[in-house]
Amino acid sequence: MDMREVLVEAGKKLIREGFTVETWGNISVRDNEGLVYITPSGMDYEDCTVDDMVVMTIDKKTVSGARRPSIETDLHLEVYKARPEVKAIVHTHPIASTVFSCMGESIPLIIDEAAQALGGEVRTAAYALPGTIELAHNCVKALGDKSNACLLQSHGAVCVACNMKGAFKVAKVLEMTAKVYFRIRSIGGNFIPLSDENICAMQDFVACKYGQPK
């Protein structure tokens, strides 16, 4: 499938599944040759076509597409530079996760699904204005070399994976975990931490044993 078609469908999914509103949020993929495909700035996802997608090199040289790319292009490119295994990035504006980003807090791996999908504790990146290289660097720092998601202070979330399906899975699990954590906090409760040993065991299980043989 044309990577631009992947982005068009992902944009519709971003809206349909409630991960953002209006034209906020952005999405990108990286192909096997290293080219980055990214959504255009400020366009309605329901109206976007393949011709609206922008294709560029990792050093930000446009290969095709006449539209202005997402304001967060630097963020996407810096994550790709820092994490070679990442091939898809979804920047969302989810409600529950953003609550914790506004407080500058991390979301711990409190449920099995989070341990399996999120890679590590979901940290909040220090605040920087949208579209700045500072925000991009803060995001890379918050993701580190293990986590598949981070929060942007007072802004939203960034979810990464080896493909678009995986990035949306991370986004879903992150928001579900945030909702559970929110409810625990709202009743004045405390969660029982998962041990590092069990987290590693679940991640190994997902990587090596879960699902059907490939």
The alpha carbons of the chain give a radius of gyration, in whole angstroms, of 17
- The alpha carbon torsion through 119, 120, 121, 122 (nearest 10 deg) reads -40
Strand locations in 5-119, DSSP E? 26-30, 36-38, 54-56, 62-64, 88-92
Enter the pTM of the model. 0.92
* Dist CA 105 CA 125 (whole Å): 9
For residue 192, tell me if it sits in a domain.
yes
* Dist CA 139 CA 84 (whole Å): 15
Share the mean pLDDT of the chain: 91
The contacts of residue 104 (CB under 8 Å, 6+ apart) are: 124, 153
Catalytic residue among 5, 72, 113, 175: 72
Q: Which domain holds residue 166?
A: 3-208
Token code pair at residue 174 = 């992150």
128-160: buried (b, 16+ CB within 10 Å) or exposed (e) per residue?
Answer: beeeeeebbbbbbebbeeebbbbbbbebbbbbb
For residue 151, tell me if it sits in a domain.
yes
**Structure confidence by residue, pLDDT tens digits, 102-149:** 999 999 999 999 999 999 999 999 999 999 999 999 999 999 999 999
Domain CATH for 116: 3.40.225.10
For residue 101, tell me if it sits in a domain.
yes
The number of folded domains in the chain is: 1
For residue 214, tell me if it sits in a domain.
no
* Dist CA 212 CA 214 (whole Å): 6
According to the model, what pLDDT value does residue 159 have? 97
For residue 191, tell me if it sits in a domain.
yes
* Dist CA 19 CA 10 (whole Å): 11
72 part of the active site: yes
What pLDDT band is residue 212 in, cutting at 50, 70 and 90?
A: low
The yes-or-no verdict on residue 214 having pLDDT over 70 is no
For residue 213, tell me if it sits in a domain.
no
Backbone angles phi, psi at 167, to 5 degrees: -65, -40
Where residue 118 falls (left for φ over 0; alpha for ψ -120 to 50; beta otherwise) is: alpha
According to the model, what pLDDT value does residue 90 have? 97
